[in-house]
Structure 1
Amino acid sequence: MSFDLQLKGQRAVVTGGTKGLGAALVTSLHDAGVEVITTARSAPERPVAGVTYVKADLTTADGVTQLAQTVQQRWGHADIVIHSLGGSTAPPGGFAALDDAVWFNELNLNLMPAVRLDRALLPAMLAKGDGVVLHVTSIQRALPLPESTTAYAAAKGALSTYSKALSREVTPKGVRVLRVSPGWIETEASVAFAQRMADQAGTDYEGGKKMVMDWLGGIPVGRPAKPQEVADFITFLVSPRAASVAGSEHVIDGGTVPTV
């Protein structure tokens, strides 16, 4: 049996592709023979040869337009769009610490880039009747941490709802829409988050890491996921090997969410 994912020659756009999960996705797709355009606000420290990097701020409408125009001018259309951009810069302290600026920042980072980029790139995918759009959500939409992730969780919840609605609209026209809901991934951003929590509590990183795991109610596999583990799972889902998978949300959280 061959494990070829049949992705060679496909064209994929990955948002947030210079760090964390996004960087792992770029590597995974590139290794599978996919042409990749990715973007971030800063250039990568270790660029992958053959990958096109677009420096743009996708939290702004202008940044999304810049990326979409690059895709359209170079390829005409994308075969795969993966929205891995996301994160949180909200302070700890519960709901009272979240002013309007924090709320808008979380929405502009975790929801609006996907909405805007889909609006720009989906028409060409629909015209050819083929493609895959995948939104990276989060188990936080079902398991928010009131001390620190309320706004992030709400934004990811909105992304999940938007994604499901989009799937109902465009899947019958040939474009699969999927969601992947990771638990805690040990990316640069999550390490920084655990360190912020550790600093607040007067402990070290391992102490902060334990705090996060405890807040989540524990991770049965005993550790956060590695970025490459999640990236490889997503690469499979966007491949022709998973052609019957559509409209669904796939949890990869080490068993964190305690409910079915």
Structure 2
Amino acid sequence: TARSPDAGSPAELFVQADVATLDGAANVAAAIIDRLGGIDIVIHSVGGSKSPGGGFAALSDRIWQDELNLNLLAAVRLDRLLVPRMIEQGSGAIVHISSIQRRLPLHESTIAYAAAKAALSNYSKALSKELGPQGIRVNIVAPGWIHTTASEAMVKRLAAH
């Protein structure tokens, strides 16, 4: 799943959707159930930040909502739509990708992202307690720094500041 297709994505498995929206998450869940009949594992790796620098005062309600939709609520929505299938079959695994910023936020640059990833970590822990007895594992992974175009731009912006 992605907002735009990748040249290497097999067309029969790819679902184009923005999972930061309720409709996008619903389209992904429907495609999975329709094409595969069920689900054994969900790996939620969506994340990112478009927040401007300037700390908390620079962030509008819209930016906060966008960061929460992408970094927290996308996982919550997909879980709500897919986990009932896992419960029915009595097994499954969920992996949420978090961030080191859940504990070490960069207040100048990514405070909304960091807050959303902290919430994702807390949500994941609660979900693991709820679903573990039903045969469903829930884990969270915080891989550390990942070099991307966006992360490189953020470092350059912070260095210039």
Same fold (TM over 0.5): yes
- Residue type at the aligned position of 2:8: P
| In the alignment, structure 1 residue 116 sits paired with structure 2 residue 77 | yes
- Residue type at the aligned position of 2:29: A
Of structures 1 and 2, the one scoring higher in RCO (CA 8 A, sep 6+) is 2
SS of the residue aligned with 2:52?
coil
Deviation at 1:175, TM superposition (A): 0.5
SS of the residue aligned with 1:123?
helix
Counterpart position of 2:35 = 74
Counterpart position of 1:42 = 4
Residues 99/49 of structure 1: CA separation in 2 closer, same or farther (3 Å cut)? closer
| In the alignment, structure 1 residue 140 sits paired with structure 2 residue 92 | no
Q: Which runs of 5+ in 2 are unaligned?
A: none
SS of the residue aligned with 1:179?
strand
Deviation at 1:131, TM superposition (A): 0.8
Note if contact 2:15-2:28 (Cα within 8 Å) is conserved in structure 1. Answer: yes
Correspondences of 1:1-260 after superposition (within 5 Å): 39-44=1-6, 46-49=7-10, 52-197=13-158, 201=160
Counterpart position of 1:214 = none
Whole-angstrom CA distance in 2 between matches of 1:55 and 1:145 = 31
RMSD over aligned CA atoms reads 1.6
Whole-angstrom CA distance in 2 between matches of 1:189 and 1:58 = 19
Whole-angstrom CA distance in 1 between matches of 2:119 and 2:79 = 15
SS of the residue aligned with 2:15?
strand
What is the TM-score with the length of structure 1 in the denominator? Answer: 0.59
Higher strand share: 1
Residues 30-86 of structure 1: CA deviation (Å, up to 9, x unaligned): xxxxxxxxx111111x31447721111111100000000000101121111000000
SS of the residue aligned with 1:171?
helix
Residues 50/102 of structure 1: CA separation in 2 closer, same or farther (3 Å cut)? closer
Residues 142-161 of structure 1: CA deviation (Å, up to 9, x unaligned): 00011111111000001001
Residues 161-183 of structure 1: CA deviation (Å, up to 9, x unaligned): 11000000001100100000122
What is the TM-score with the length of structure 2 in the denominator? Answer: 0.94
Deviation at 1:140, TM superposition (A): 0.3
Residues 121-142 of structure 1: CA deviation (Å, up to 9, x unaligned): 0011111111100000111010
Deviation at 1:101, TM superposition (A): 0.9
Deviation at 1:190, TM superposition (A): 1.7
Residues 187-219 of structure 1: CA deviation (Å, up to 9, x unaligned): 233233334445xx18xxxxxxxxxxxxxxxxx
Q: Which runs of 5+ in 1 are unaligned?
A: 1-38, 203-260
